[in-house]
Chain A
Amino acid sequence: GAVVSQHPSWVICKSGTSVKIECRSLDFQATTMFWYRQFPKQSLMLMATSNEGSKATYEQGVEKDKFLINHASLTLSTLTVTSAHPEDSSFYICSAAPGGSNNEQFFGPGTRLTVL
């Protein structure tokens, strides 16, 4: 099956610093990747859609200057949380959709971010 990895799996940082999270599709090319955020016991909330070689599309209410997304290749997308604050602490999950796929999204294992 298709495998998506995320790095790091968890990160603790100080308030005001920036954190980069990587999402990689290991055995397929992903023209589109998605970034989600999940708070404890809550649903996954789509933050943005990332298309290779173009700007990401952000969902309403998501600050694009705070959550920088780069999709530089067909196998890698990165999410950078800039000037992180404690309220940004959450579980960040990416998913990747193979080219031509209509319904399949393969999810990464998630990255737990804790901002002190």
Chain B
Amino acid sequence: QKEVEQDPGPLSVPEGAIVSLNCTYSNSAFQYFMWYRQYSRKGPELLMYTYSSGNKEDGRFTAQVDKSSKYISLFIRDSQPSDSATYLCAMRRTDSWGKLQFGAGTQVVVTP
């Protein structure tokens, strides 16, 4: 069983819709949670990071962490075609600085 599970998609939504992404994990020691966006043949770009449980909002992006369920989510409001990319969740333990465990990534396609 993988430590981090993420549905690879593709997830297709119309422009303006809310994109809902999620990951589940098995290691209860994970405390830091990140979401990255990766365009084709490019390196990942950090979008959001949160520590422990709770919500965090930044512009059109909202990240949620539910540690009791070992479940994290990313919501993208008012989606645009430029949001079409692969979104990767990543997480790490407090004592493993820098050692990120990535999900497989969800491919998102926003259609005009």
Contact = CB atoms under 8 A, between A and B. Distances in A.
A97 B98 contact: yes
Contact of B44 (A93, A104, A112): A93
Interface string A89-116: 0010101010000111111111010000
Contacts of A44: 44, 88, 100, 102
A110 B42 contact: yes
A107 B44 contact: yes
A82 to B, nearest CB: 24
If over half of A's interface residues share one DSSP class (helix, strand or loop), that class is named, otherwise mixed; here it is strand
A7 to B, nearest CB: 13
B46 interface: yes
B60 interface: no
A105 B18 CA distance: 27
A46 interface: yes
A102 B97 contact: yes
Interface string A16-59: 00000000000000001010000001111110010000000000
Interface of B: 4, 6, 8, 32, 34, 36, 41-46, 49, 88, 97-100, 102-105
Interface of A: 4, 6, 32, 34, 41-46, 49, 91, 93, 95, 97, 102-110, 112
